[in-house]
Structure 1
């Protein structure tokens, strides 16, 4: 099958790897004149790494990432340890580790493997118009490219989504949260008596301080030479045009009541600081075009808040699921032609299976992510009591609290799209981790494709 992937980000490159390894011809388009080193740290969860490992990226990823031993959760003001999550043990629990890695490092690895799998990357290729019915894209430079299928992985501000849905496109909406991001040199932290105990280069553990409406997350990146810092706050300050010094003044005021170790981390941070409002794409009416020749994936379809650290992982899940569905429609080694009515029906069914399976999964994780953020930063004294007690159980092999009626109001909920239990604390809640990390994206889409094939392909 000949496939155009629009967007050379994590979603698009992951898809190119999976498709290329199955023998599909993949052209990747990106508007950038060259791939640049962007972003800072990202966290990747086990169920996504299972697929990246299957595609042959295990050695490269483990060589250039970090597996923390624990995630320590502290009270922001007192500095008291509230609980910890045993990150290192996730590999035995879920079949792959939980890693932290610099986004640019991850991107470079994906890029290398996409090219190795046969993907053709065309930079400076800005798509300005989609012909959904005919599987074609028009470029700013005047070229028109056509394929059996066009997949848009063009990010949260997706042009493809806008053109596909028209006035039904909700766009990306503010979640009410934002995050200041910066880094600190680990050598400075090790040399400082206030922070030296936090930087254990043997365990490489992560640290997370929580308080009403604000939090500070830190983890090691770049072979443990840099500490990545994420400062969550309510998105009520317009920092778009502020200088780094002005941003630091805001940070200082926001975190003035935090314990001395956090204060010192901020003192030692690099001058570069940026604030990123957290946006999400609400549930869409559809990801695919009725022609069966176009589909959205990744942030273009379901950008989400980062409080489950699942945005990147869900994009990899999308790639694995879509490639699996397309392999069922056009098995590796077989020929494919849209002039064949059976092949055309098979492609439509593949996109139908992908959307039917992936939409509720993505929407559930979106909901869990926002619930995680809201519960970690609640101002309610009663709810913080429930949260802190839950954090005290976070290192144990048990789900707590089990019941919705915990005395903590609506702190334990049921997901609207799937009925999954949503416990307090995001990643710190074992019940939420279990259904997130035990998920089999390929198995789910294959099961649906095969169970519905007789009716759809008849």
Structure 2
């Protein structure tokens, strides 16, 4: 039986373990934390990632999720710039990260062994396999150990790696009664967004321009439109994380028998809400490439050829959206908001015509 080691048990890592298990591999998952789990925040799961999870046999994602209610993009005073429906965007389902993690790990079978509290210090490979810490050996290693990947640094020490976006992020969960559909509010170098989870709680997030490493809080949003003040007041624990992504061009996702997956390969800013989803799609693609033929080298080459260009586009697009969203100049902000509003109206006018044309075909 083929053997694999997955380093990192975040959403991407555990999805990779399930995918390899489905391919008939024996898998060892290494996690440096003392136990498996995810942070207490929400996550948007887009249709493409839901489809991959369903193919891997992960059950109940949509049952444990809330479909996003009608949302909009607004100014801090509450004035609507554009409704999300007018933009014709896909609608993700919202789920707590811990719930999603639990649903995936529920599919762990006897082919998967988990070792927590394990720190990877060294990694080496030869034509026959990969060795970690001079004690663990496998045919394949999947590096899903995050944006500051120890394995990526060992493989490509000259790579520039993570770079600061210029803004920090706050996240929280609040129990607030509101009929507001959520969405995002864009201000002067600041943004605030929220969406409902299936249990009725509200997941919110915010970003603010500031130097890296500065401890702060979301007080600047306390006078924004309702229900933002109520969400902040009802939040017990606020998470703060400076936002980094990986420099482009991204390094190859495969190095011999070692594969990079998720943030270790393509960490992106959260502006598209697709970071974890892209990791899930990586895992699905890896499994598919391995099943297409017995040649491991050819399979990994196919994986890199498929996933690296797709991820690179998302990293660039997400970074660009962040730059637009964090603008402070009032003139540029006015132009930005006007363009979004005009674009939404134009798309809403064109959509019925497109539907009529399709019905006549």
Structure 1 length normalisation: TM-score?
0.70
SS in 2 for 1:51: helix
Q: Do structure 1's residue 296 and structure 2's residue 250 form an aligned pair?
A: no
Paired residues for 1:416-431 under 5 Å: none
Relative to structure 1, is the Cα distance of residues 31 and 81 closer, same or farther in structure 2, using a 3 angstrom cutoff?
same
| 177 and 75 in structure 1: CA distance in 2 versus 1, 3 angstrom threshold | same
Alpha-carbon distance between aligned partners in 2 of 1:274 and 1:221, rounded to the nearest angstrom: 18
Query: Does the 8 Å CA contact 2:166/2:212 hold for their aligned counterparts?
Result: no
User: Where does 1:183-262 land on structure 2 (aligned, <5 Å)?
Assistant: 183-186=173-176, 190=177, 196-198=178-180, 205-221=181-197, 223-224=199-200, 226-236=201-211, 238-240=213-215, 247-248=216-217, 251-252=218-219, 254-255=220-221, 258-262=224-228
- Whether 2:165 is the aligned partner of 1:175: answer yes
- Structure 1's unaligned 5+ residue stretches are 191-195, 199-204, 241-246, 331-345, 399-458
Question: 2: distance between equivalents of 1:309 and 1:394?
Answer: 22
Question: How far apart are residue 160 of structure 1 and its match?
Answer: 0.1
> How much does 1:260 deviate?
4.5
Q: Alignment partner of 1:312: what SS?
A: helix
Query: 8 Å contact 2:164–2:212 — kept in the other structure?
Result: no
CA offsets per residue over residues 324-347 of structure 1, 9 Å max, x none? 1111133xxxxxxxxxxxxxxx21
What is the alpha-carbon distance in structure 2 between the residues aligned to residue 117 and residue 396 of structure 1?
55
Paired residue total: 343
CA contact (8 A) 1:136 1:144 kept: no
Partners of 1:325 and 1:353 within 8 A in 2: yes
- Greater strand percent: which structure? 2
What is the CA–CA distance in structure 2 between the aligned matches of 1:364 and 1:389, rounded to whole Å?
Answer: 25
Cα distance 1:40–1:260, how it changes in 2: closer, same or farther (>3 A)?
Answer: closer
List aligned pairs for 1:329-408, cutoff 5 A: 329-330=293-294, 346-378=295-327, 379=329, 380=332, 381-393=334-346, 398=351
In 1, distance between residues paired with 2:139 and 2:174?
47
Report SS of the residue matched to 1:57: coil
Counterpart of 1:427? Answer: none
Counterpart position of 2:358: none
Q: Secondary structure at the match of 1:5?
A: strand
The aligned counterpart of 1:84 is 83
* Structure-1 residue corresponding to 2:235: 270
Query: What displacement does 1:232 show?
Result: 1.2
Q: Give the Å deviation of 1:14.
A: 1.0
Deviates more, 1:377-386 or 1:39-48: 377-386
Q: Do the aligned partners of residues 385 and 173 (structure 1) sit closer, same or farther apart at CA in structure 2, a change above 3 Å counting?
A: same
Question: Residue deviations 1:109-128, cap 9 Å, x none?
Answer: 11111x13732222222221
- SS across alignment from 1:34: coil
- Structure 1 residue 296: Cα displacement: 1.0
Deviations 1:3-60 (Å, cap 9, x if unpaired)? 11111111111111122112122221112221134231111111111111122224x2
CA contact (8 A) 1:17 1:117 kept: no
Asked whether the equivalents of residues 162 and 245 of structure 2 are also in contact (C-alpha less than 8 Å), the reply is: yes
1:321 maps to what in 2?
Answer: 285
8 Å Cα contact 1:239/1:275 also seen in 2: no
Give the whole-Å Cα distance in 2 for the aligned partners of 1:396 and 1:239. Answer: 45
Q: CA deviation at 1:81?
A: 2.1
Secondary structure in 2 matching 1:128: coil
Partner residue in 1 for 2:58 = 57
- Aligned residues: CA RMSD: 2.4
* Structure possessing the higher relative contact order (Cα contacts under 8 Å, 6 or more residues apart): 2
Contact 2:7 2:31 in 1 (8 A): yes
- Distance in 1 between residues matched to 2:97 and 2:197, nearest whole Å: 10
Residues 393 and 69 of structure 1, relative CA distance in 2, 3 Å threshold: farther
Question: 2:122 maps to what in 1?
Answer: 129
Q: Is the 8 A contact 1:184 1:227 kept in 2?
A: yes
How far the C-alpha of 1:394 sits from its partner, in A, is 6.3
After superposition, what is the alpha-carbon deviation per residue over 1:81-115, rounded to whole angstroms, capped at 9, x for unaligned?
A: 2222249x97xxx7xx62111111111111111x1
Q: Structure 2 CA distance, aligned partners of 1:25 and 1:117?
A: 9
Q: Is 1:279 matched with 2:244?
A: yes
Counting only pairs closer than 5 Å after superposition, residues 60-75 of structure 1 correspond to structure 2 as 60-75=60-75
Q: Could you tell me how far apart the structure 2 residues matched to 1:108 and 1:358 are?
A: 26
Deviation, 1:396, is 6.7
The C-alpha deviation readout for 1:233-274, integer Å capped at 9, x for no partner, is: 11336434xxxxxx44xx32x3365235423333x2323223
- TM-score with structure 2 setting the length: 0.87
Distance 1:396 1:39, change over 3 A: farther
Please name the residue that 1:310 is paired with.
274
Which residue of 1 is the match for residue 101 of structure 2? Answer: 107
- Tell me if 1:98 matches 2:80: no
Q: Is the 8 A contact 2:81 2:340 kept in 1?
A: no
Asked if the contact 1:83/1:394 (under 8 Å) is kept, the reply is: no
